[in-house]
Amino acid sequence: MGCDIHSYVEKLERGIWIKVSNIFPRTKWEKSYFKSNVSDHPFNWRSYGIFGFLADVRNYSHSPVISASRGLPMDVSSEIKLEADDWGCDGHSFSFLMLDELLNFDYDQIFWDRRITKQVKPNFWDGAALAEDEETEGEHISLRKFLDGAFFEQLEIMKKLGDPKKIRIVFWFDN
């Protein structure tokens, strides 16, 4: 069973966190299913690399993690609180990150990406196997290259919203 992210952006306005809507371009695939060409959701694609980095969820690569899950913020907007509550016990690893945390992280650090595909028995391959020998398996890679350009495109869109200390993403996962 796969794992997906549910993510939103909030902006602090006059002391209240407000959900930001319709700022992220939809993928070509999404455009064929939705009437709008824009979405409310950053990082709205299945990427266990990004999930691992954001909250140590499905972190098969053993990438650096920006923060352990923090739970929903106490002052989360009512719209996002309702969405989160609807997930009940099917949602997990609720968290949030400030945009300035995301912008100031050291993405140029190198780590050993331990996720490999390994044959574990005849006609069966495990795509989330762990490399055991750093010299011959896996890959040493910068976090910037590992997360890919689409991750950073989302950060650039959020930067246009204003002061990074007043912008945050709120997110959780399902599976």
* Domain range annotation of the chain: 4-108+147-174
- Say how far apart CA 141 and CA 144 lie, in whole Å: 8
Amino acid found at 116: I
The pLDDT-based confidence of 34 (bands split at 50, 70, 90) is low
pLDDT at 81: 97
Q: How much is the mean pLDDT over the chain? A: 89
Q: Strand pairing of 4-13 and 16-20?
A: antiparallel
- Say how far apart CA 130 and CA 117 lie, in whole Å: 8
Per-residue model confidence as pLDDT tens digits over 124-160: 776 666 677 777 778 899 999 999 889 999 999 999 9
What pTM was estimated for this model as a whole? Answer: 0.87
pLDDT at 28: 63
Per-residue model confidence as pLDDT tens digits over 56-81: 999 999 999 999 999 999 999 999 99
